[in-house]
A and B are shown apart, each in its own frame.
Chain A
């Protein structure tokens, strides 16, 4: 086990420490004592991958921009590499978000920078198979591999996305070794980092601003371009005059972002861009009672339902240290696109203790001895590519009593087959690389000592929605783009089909899941859409 506690990390890089000298216009809505009314060319709701990218593009074109963020502004000065504060301050519902029946846990960011502040930096262009499927089956135009390439290239340069040059940590290294041993294809992951110290705390907020999240790239650049940022401001609805959207109404949240202060924020704008992320953007549309003649809003919301296996090795793994994701395998991802059983991507997650303990979904001596061996533990995850097969229609966003989004997404037999099959593949990989014992994420499973024993157990365990542990860190869809208003919510330029001056620019535009970690797909698509909008508004 490695003790990093003597290492000291400073904060010299935090750009927000000089916000005043930089002339940045940042408002903490929890502190306002009266109504706030603003006007802008464009109001952007959300500061994650979509909102951050749109803010930079539009402000650079000389347009006045107001950015609204429901979460708090937390920056590297506060990122202490401890789990409690990170989960409380940087995640939706303090990591308590889940699907309606409790079958899946949903990890989504909620602070300035959105999920980019806490993601694991893994960057893939939208796979060609996905873009082709959208063009052929989902009515999407203008998003071929060739048409998207310049936008991805721009964002890769902007966010310093490059293949990780250092050796993988032992957790990722095991995925590579197992793939080599069993003849599976694997590759090195591209990451959006600059000056990365290979510490491993991406999911808790990068303590040295090496991660090129929206928090330290596009948002500072938008602020330099005179954009205004208001955090602790939760957008309730869009404002309309007839068929024209004229801005948004938001409510100020208390300092801990768990309550309302009673103050209102109104932003009037020539254009309104929703970028609250999947689930939240469809929820704003639902709360606003906008026209939805074909009942598409909130439908087909996807998660890359993800399951895992844990294995204990004789050697040290230290799975909480080092770049969290650097190796992946698509060997089982594209065996078919939209026919046959579900495809999945193989990756590994970082295992900070409370996070790991939650995913174990077991108790008693089994969890205690597992956690005692956490320094020797390796974890593999399978991210299922939902939304392509007819038996995979995703979930539906509804509104709860408090107007909050709730995702109704039961785990169906099609996904359960993928869960069970992926366990077999991942357990075999772990035994092939010499683990002492391994365990699938089933509530009635235990650590098995041989591949033979594990295989026999897999055949016996009851495979049912609440017996298996499945989670998600990738929420997509719910306000899909497409040329046909009967099958989509927005056009392929992001414009809402049924009202003027309203746009969606985030992961809710995706008509299926991506089949890869989605951040670069959002960056590239939103750079394309916001560039077009900027050109229109400045023409």
Chain B
């Protein structure tokens, strides 16, 4: 569940940061270069125990899934998410809201964890909402990858071509 909704109309809070003008990063449809820096720092903190900062293959796979997920949301929701990322990306608001004054590309795992904690524990509702959107989207992007869903025990039946018989309906038999 993306639940990013949250951000579909948060422009009032986000506009204080001004809008980032850059387009999507190479190979991405929505995420911009600065978003990738942010998410590369955040993903190992959000998914601690699943992804380490050095595991670039897993991070990149999650970010590609994230980009696909954004494309599956509505345009107003995507705009809201990118505005939230602006708050976290632009120097002044990044520092004030997360305590991360250096660029995300220079952030350690501990820096990212501390940034998440500040957003989570803030008394400002908007920052709690940004926290929820960032973590939900990263975690959803990760568990929307079927092998990761399988690691949580989810191995649904296979769908086979049309015309193949379905198993006997147990309920019908019981009735």
User: Which residues of A are interface residues toward B (Cβ below 8 A)?
Assistant: 1-14, 17, 77, 79-84, 87-88, 92-103, 105-107, 165-166, 193-199, 201, 207-208, 210, 258, 318, 320, 352-365, 367-369, 371-372, 374-375, 400-402, 404, 406, 443-444, 462, 464-467, 469, 471
Collect the chain A residues with CB atoms within 8 Å of residue B121's CB. 444
Interface centre among B146, B156, B163, B172 (most CB of A within 10 A): B156
User: Which residues of B are interface residues toward A (Cβ below 8 A)?
Assistant: 1-10, 45-50, 68-69, 71-77, 113, 116, 120-121, 123, 125-126, 128-129, 131-133, 135-136, 138-140, 142-144, 146, 148-149, 151-167, 169-172, 174-175
Collect the chain A residues with CB atoms within 8 Å of residue B175's CB. 165
Are B77 and A96 in touch, CB under 8 angstroms? yes
Residue from B10, B125, B174 in contact with A165 in the complex, judged by beta carbons closer than 8 Å: B174
Name A10's closest neighbour in chain B (CB-CB).
B164
Residue from B128, B158, B162 in contact with A5 in the complex, judged by beta carbons closer than 8 Å: B158
Are B46 and A367 in touch, CB under 8 angstroms? yes
Whole-angstrom distance between the Cβ of A258 and the nearest chain B Cβ: 7
Are B163 and A364 in touch, CB under 8 angstroms? no
A95 to B144 alpha-carbon distance, docked (Å): 13
Known contacts: A96-B8, A365-B49, A375-B153. The answer to whether A195 contacts B139 by CB under 8 A is no
Collect the chain B residues with CB atoms within 8 Å of residue A469's CB. 132
Are A95 and B171 in touch, CB under 8 angstroms? no
Are A100 and B9 in touch, CB under 8 angstroms? yes
Are B6 and A98 in touch, CB under 8 angstroms? yes
Whole-angstrom distance between the Cβ of A314 and the nearest chain B Cβ: 15
Name A357's closest neighbour in chain B (CB-CB).
B139
Are A102 and B72 in touch, CB under 8 angstroms? no
Provide a sorted-by-A list of 12 A–B residue pairs whose CB atoms are within 8 angstroms.
Answer: A5-B157, A8-B158, A12-B162, A88-B72, A98-B6, A99-B5, A102-B129, A195-B169, A358-B1, A358-B140, A361-B135, A466-B132
Collect the chain A residues with CB atoms within 8 Å of residue B77's CB. 93-94, 96-97
Residue from B46, B72, B157, B165 in contact with A364 in the complex, judged by beta carbons closer than 8 Å: B46
Name A360's closest neighbour in chain B (CB-CB).
B139
Interface centre among B113, B143, B148, B164 (most CB of A within 10 A): B143
Are B163 and A95 in touch, CB under 8 angstroms? no
Are A471 and B3 in touch, CB under 8 angstroms? yes
A129 to B154 alpha-carbon distance, docked (Å): 40
Whole-angstrom distance between the Cβ of A325 and the nearest chain B Cβ: 15
Residue from B136, B154, B166 in contact with A352 in the complex, judged by beta carbons closer than 8 Å: B154
Name B138's closest neighbour in chain A (CB-CB).
A363
Known contacts: A102-B10, A353-B152. The answer to whether A364 contacts B116 by CB under 8 A is yes
Collect the chain A residues with CB atoms within 8 Å of residue B72's CB. 84, 87-88, 94
Are B143 and A166 in touch, CB under 8 angstroms? no
A444 to B132 alpha-carbon distance, docked (Å): 11
Are B2 and A94 in touch, CB under 8 angstroms? yes
Known contacts: A7-B158, A368-B50. The answer to whether A102 contacts B167 by CB under 8 A is no
Are A406 and B166 in touch, CB under 8 angstroms? no
Collect the chain B residues with CB atoms within 8 Å of residue A5's CB. 155-158
Are B140 and A357 in touch, CB under 8 angstroms? yes
* Known A105-B3, A464-B125; further 7 A-B contacts with Cβ < 8 A: A9-B160, A11-B161, A83-B144, A166-B170, A207-B157, A363-B116, A443-B120
